[in-house]
Each structure stands twice: as structure tokens, then as C-alpha cells.
Amino acid sequence: MTVRTIDGAAFAQMVLAGSQHLTNNAKMIDSLNVFPVPDGDTGTNMNLSMTSGANEVKNTNSDRAGEIAQALSKGLLMGARGNSGVILSQLFRGFAKGVEGKALLDATAFAEGLDTGVKTAYKAVMKPVEGTILTVAKDAAARAADIAPATQDLTEFLEAVLEEAKASLKRTPELLPVLKEVGVVDSGGQGLVTIYEGMLASLKGEELPQTTDSTVDLDDMVNAEHHKMAQDFMDTEDITFGYCTEFMVKLEEEKTKEHPFEEETFRNELGEHGDSLLVVSDEEIVKVHIHAEYPGEVLTLGQRFGSLINLKIENMREQHTSIVGDKKKQKDAKEPAEYGIVTVAMGEGLKTLLESLGATVVIQGGQTMNPSTQDIADAIQQANARNVIVLPNNKNIVMAAEQAADLAGENVAVVATKTIPQGMSSLLAFHPDATIEENQTNMLKASKHVKTGQVTYAVRDTQIDGLAIENGSFMGLADGKIKSTNKDKLTTVKNLLQEMIEEEDEIVTILQGEDATQEEVEALESFIEENYEDLEVEIHEGDQPIYAFILAVE
């Protein structure tokens, strides 16, 4: 059957299918991250970002495709995490601009949306790199523009667009040497292709491929849902569904004989009873999270398939009244400061260290869990200052920080620090009597003067930067580039220091991670004192996960 146009309802279903397909494949996409460090999270970031957009679509009652696109754009914008999530948000932000005001989408309108999305995303990236999600989006949009004028069938149109997106994805290793070296395609591009696949399946009325490992993301998805409540910006009476309800159904054969369980059907049933709905299942267990007005009704629906376990029901109106009341008291009690500094780190030791250097708010996050645009926007507000400086301390958080700063207003500046040592150096360069522009310039300049070393372990075998790396071995990275690898942690960090230290250096700062022992720290200190007698050594307990040692060499 020829599909010439789609309305808002059909487009909403396509978005939800694209989001679900991304959820199902997030772990696979994570595994495509090039470096074998245990922070490969492109799939997770894109999934959490897209889930935020899809939930905004679920909460939008409109038959106009343009309004659904606007809802998707809004949800993605606030939920965007990591560079991949931010670029995804910009692609659909542009798409929404391209189809603004349209009730129906045909091939021409779809092509205009894709083209505007690509232009918007390229503008958002300071130095676009080809061989990434940007290239896949651009090639797909170009194919769409070529065929749209002569296409009457939207299904054929999207099939061709998806075919080009897949072809472009296969070409990414030819454009990015590091992808070719490792033997993978670009993870962000794979994420976009996955979304397109889901959208096309919905348009064709086909079922999505079955998930194999979706349950692991439920907790993160629930956290994302709760962040999306944006409690500071709504009144308690605006809450339509008042009870955060979580439960698990232990499937029982006796009951499923009478009521066969089918995840999608169950999800649709629950969707009529609330919002912020998440359902994941395997052969034995179904996990449910929903904000419902009558929790008993959703529990009854689940009970048809088996026994209920791990129930949790919370009154969100009570919680919201308490939170808003407490925050209002805090705002009333404190006059805004002249300056506030928001930064990001993972580990209580690093949090304490950064606060001692002048940070006002430290967002817990970084590797493996990049904060969303909403998280950073909330922290900017929490800083309660006339001028706020944001230090991302991670290259994958810079774009989300800049997006949050744009949303916050004129008096927020981002200093694009990409490591914890860079953030520390920037904090030391801050001067309360300087203007925000002067501080931004001086702090960025200071961040360039420190060299960053990191020691972590490999999560798979690979060959990169001329080094053969075995799964489980330790790796030493200098400013993001792998310089040493060894099965012994201490040998790895010593070799890394030898690569990093130069004659003019004066001080080495060691941040001890939660996986580093006191004996290892003392051995490292002795190694530096014996081999670099003029160097000063500082040691701090960072408690950071993943990286046993973070080193700053200046």
C-alpha cells in the first residue's frame, strides 16, 4: 500500500519505535566505542537522550506531525547526554524547524526536515569530524533530497534513506583512520541508523527485532525519567499522575496459559494508565516503572501474568511539595553570589578536592555516566550566582554544558576543560574581581598548561596507536592517547610517567582512584623521587572509579 503522507499519530509511533529499537541495541552500540577503556557509553547516552525525547512525544496529544517533532526536539534537548546525545538532539531540533507548522509529512517535507537537521547539527559542532554520526546524517539527508521530488511513497523513500545511511556507516572507517585500525564502524552513526530502522519498521507495520539485553538499562532510564520531572519549573497541582509505581512480575506458566504475555501489548495497556512508562522483560521477569494515578489498576494488570515482587509506590505530590518548599526556602534565604562555578567529577575525594579549589556545585558524573543538559542546567540554577562558569572536565560533556549554558542565559560561560587536571588548573586561575569573559579566557589558557595522565584497564583485545592491548591489561593514556600497556598496574603508570615528564616540568599531582592501594601510591612516589629529584609530588585521594590513577604534570 502506498503511504503518501503521515500525520502526527503515525509520526509519534515512528519516534517511539525508533527509540525502542535504540534501547534494544544500546549495549551493542556501546561495544563499538573505539578505545577499549571501560567508559564506552555512546549507546547508553544516545538511548537516555532519545528516551527523554520519546517520553515528551508520549505526553503530547496532537495529530499534527510538526507538533510531535517539536515535542521530540524539546525532550531530546533537555535529556541530551554526551556528545552523541547532543548531536542527536540537534539533528531532531533542526528536523522540527524544517517541518514546523506542518500537519502531514510527505517525502518532500521529510527531506527538508533531515536537511535542516544536518545543518543545525553541523553548526553546533565547533570542529565537525567526518566519519561520525554527522556524516551518516548528512549522507542520508542528501539521498533524501535527491529522491524526494520524484517519490510518492513515503515507505520507499525511507527505505532508500536508510539504505544510504547504512552505506555511509560502512564507509566511516575509510574516513576515520582510528575506526579502520580497530575494525569498527562509528558508534554514533550506528545509533542513528538504529533509530531510522525502528522508524521505518513502524511505518511498514513490522515488528522490531527482539531484544537480547535491554534490562540492564532500566535503572538509568528510571533516573532519566525522574530528572525529566523538572520539579523547579512546575507546580504540584500540575502532576497528572501522582504515584511513582515500580514492580516486577514473576511470570507463571499457569497464568500465562490463560493470559499470554506479550511485552508490546502490555506496554500499550499500561500506557493508558499513566506516563513515564518503562517496561522491559525476559523469559522470567517483567520490570515496570510508571507514573500512575491509580497504582492498584496497573498492579492488577501485571498480576494476570504472575506474582508481583519488589513493589514500590511513592506519592510524588508529597515529594514534590517537600522539594519545592525546601528549595524555595533556600532561595529566599540566600542572596545570589557574584560568581558560581559548576563542575563535574566522579568520586567523593575529587568532589572535596574541587570544592576546596573553589567549585560551588560538583555534579557527580563523568566517565560511564555523562550528566544531561537538564542536570547541568539544574546545577547552574543551584549555584545561585549572577555569573556562573561551567567546567565539564570531560570531552564528552562539553557540548551538553554549552547547550545548558545557552538555555540558561547570558551570564553563563563554559570553559571547555576535558580532564580533571585541566579543571583543577582552571579553578586556580579564577579571579573574583575579573569579568566573566576575562575569567573564561584566563581559565581556558591555564587548562592548556597541564598534561593529563590516566591509568585504567582494557575491556577487550584490540590494536590501537601501534600497541597490542589485551583484555584486562592496564593502559596508560597521556592526554587521551594510549602510551603504555602492561598487565602490571604499577609498571603501566611508571611507563606513562616516563612518557609524560619533560625537563622543564616542576610538579606531579597524583589522584588516587578507588582501585589504587596505599602501597602502590607510596611505590609511585618513591619512583618519582628517585628518578626525578627536582620534581615536587602532590598526592590526593580522588576515590574516582575506573581510573586507578589520574596524573597532572605541570
Q: pLDDT tens for residues 20-63?
A: 999 988 888 887 887 777 666 889 899 999 999 999 999 998 99
User: How far does CA 162 lie from the centroid of its chain?
Assistant: 24
Digit-coded pLDDT (tens) for 458-474: 988 888 878 888 889 99
* Whether 485 contacts 458, CB under 8 Å: yes
What integer pLDDT is reported at residue 207 of this predicted model?
86
CA–CA distance, 263 with 23 (Å, rounded to integer): 14
pTM score of the predicted model: 0.72
Q: Are 423 and 417 in contact (CB under 8 A)?
A: yes
The pLDDT tens digits of the residues spanning 339-373 come to 999 999 999 999 999 999 999 999 988 766 789 99
One-character DSSP codes across 213-278: S-GGGHHHHHHHHHHTT-GGGS-GGG-SS-EEEEEEEEE-HHHHHHS---HHHHHHHHHTTEEEEE
Question: pLDDT digits over 55-71, tens only?
Answer: 999 999 899 999 999 99
Least confident of 155-169, 185-199, 230-244, 411-425: 230-244
For 89-115, the pLDDT digits (tens) are: 999 999 999 999 999 999 999 999 999
Q: Does 331 score more than 70 pLDDT?
A: no
Question: 9 pLDDT exceeds 90?
Answer: yes
Phi first, then psi, for residue 169 (nearest 5°) are: -60, -40
DSSP H helical ranges for 341-465: 348-356, 373-383, 398-408, 420-429, 436-447
pLDDT tens string 296-318 = 999 999 999 999 887 878 888 87
Q: How far apart are the first and last CA of the chain?
A: 67
* pLDDT, position 166: 95
In SS3 terms, 123-170 reads as HHCCCCCCCCHHHHHHHHHHHHHHHHHHCCCHHHHHHHHHHHHHHHHH
3-state helix, strand, coil in the chain (%, to 5): 55, 20, 30
What are 73's three cell numbers? 526536539
pLDDT score recorded for residue 39? 62
Decide: helix, strand or coil at residue 367: coil
pLDDT of 175 strictly over 90: yes
CB count within 10 Å of CB 408 equals: 17
C-alpha cell at 425: 588548573
Distance between CA atoms of 108 and 122, rounded to whole angstroms?
21
Q: With cut-offs at 50, 70 and 90, classify the pLDDT of residue 213.
A: very low
pLDDT at 316: 81
